[in-house]
Amino acid sequence: MNSLVKLAVSTGEPSGIGPEVSLAAAKEFVIKYPDTEITLFGDRQLFSNQSMPKQIQIQHSPLNEANQFGKLNSKNADYVLSIIRQASQSCQKGSHHALVTAPVQKSILNTPSHPFSGHTEYLAELDRQQQVVMMLCGEISQGISSSKKMTPLRVALATTHLPISQVANNIQFNSLGITIKILESDLRLRFGISKPKIAVTGLNPHAGEDGHLGREEMEVIAPAIKAAQELGMYVKGPFPADSLFQSHFIEKFDAILAMYHDQGLAPFKFATFTQGVNITLGLSYIRTSVDHGTALDIAGQGKADWHSMFAALTLARELAVKKLGLNASSS
């Protein structure tokens, strides 16, 4: 590519490992991809003792109070939301081609006056999207898959950051149908998969076992799958979740749609941890993220593993290049 690929990185909770892994991964990334320019959104003091390649810029936003690694400070909550908002707006305007986010601490950001359930929901609100889809992307290593080659593993979620007691009530025909449409559309348009194959899990053990262990599969999930099939989508299920995450299933599908957070993310992280990437489908721009938390216990000690951030940057660049290529070919 002749022009630079421009990535925006919101560096996350300042007392966690976000600033550290953002810069460490960015440094390695611009060596491998010199056509990429990375802007780190955050307080420049968090990076003051670090050398900075010319492809890395700092978009300065001041902390409300001085930072201490490993110690949360609720007075910096507005700062965290501010850098997410600025980076998101930059992507909406087209100044950057994709957004990559470092981890935040929900306990600091979620207050009675300003509820915050997660990055995914907050970005949907900023982008004025009624519904988006959280999907994790990675590859299965040879130790997990029977195949000698690396096998892509993509796991999307029908619900995201909810207490388990609220999951069943939030799986509805209409919302599940929209989730399937967003997933199928972005697999085609962003990932370039001409006819995506999607496997859908059940909610209950054994996918409800014909209603003996729950009726959500019969009354909601199966009808939503049938409706998607009638629109020409390749969607199968509902499958029992405990047997779906096996190599011979995974290799047949482009994505798995799980019903709730831990149902999909537990097996995903077991297979891909440090290499997994979180992507938000349904936004007007590309957004990827690490698949780990703030790791307050090791923040500021130089121990943090930056490979998940590097993987998030890699997927963001890959999707941006595809998008820019599509734009160039259509102009």
Question: Residue 309 pLDDT more than 90?
Answer: yes
| pLDDT, tens digit, 9 for 90 and up, residues 225-237 | 999 999 999 999 9
Question: What average pLDDT does this structure show over 302-311?
Answer: 92
Global confidence as pTM: 0.89
* pLDDT at residue 200, rounded to an integer: 98
**What phi and psi values does residue 5 have, to the nearest 5 degrees?**
-90, 125
Average pLDDT, the chain: 91
Could you tell me the pLDDT band of residue 148, with boundaries at 50, 70 and 90? Answer: low
Decide if 1-129+283-331 and 132-281 have a common fold: yes
Question: Residue 192 pLDDT more than 60?
Answer: yes
Comparing 76-90, 141-155, 249-263, 280-294, the range with the smallest average pLDDT is: 141-155
Cross-strand bridge partners of residue 35: none
* pLDDT at residue 60, rounded to an integer: 96
Q: Where are the domains of the chain?
A: 1-129+283-331, 132-281
Question: Residue 23 pLDDT more than 90?
Answer: yes
The enclosing H or E element of 279 equals strand 277-281
Comparing 201-210, 270-279, 310-319, the range with the smallest average pLDDT is: 270-279
Question: What average pLDDT does this structure show over 189-215?
Answer: 93
| pLDDT, tens digit, 9 for 90 and up, residues 255-277 | 999 999 999 999 998 888 768 89
Output 240-246 pairs: Cβ under 8 A, ≥24 positions apart. Answer: 240/201, 240/202, 240/205, 240/206, 240/207, 241/201, 241/202, 241/207, 242/205, 244/199, 244/201, 245/271
Domain 132-281 in CATH 3.40.718.10: yes
| pLDDT, tens digit, 9 for 90 and up, residues 62-71 | 999 999 999 9
Percent of the chain with pLDDT over 70: 94
In sequence order, the 6+-apart residues with CB closer than 8 A to the CB of 118 are 106, 160, 161
DSSP E strands: which ranges in 61-146? 98-101, 133-140
Domain 1-129+283-331 in CATH 3.40.50.280: no
Pairing relationship of beta strands 277-281 and 286-290 according to DSSP bridges = antiparallel
Per DSSP, 219 falls in state I
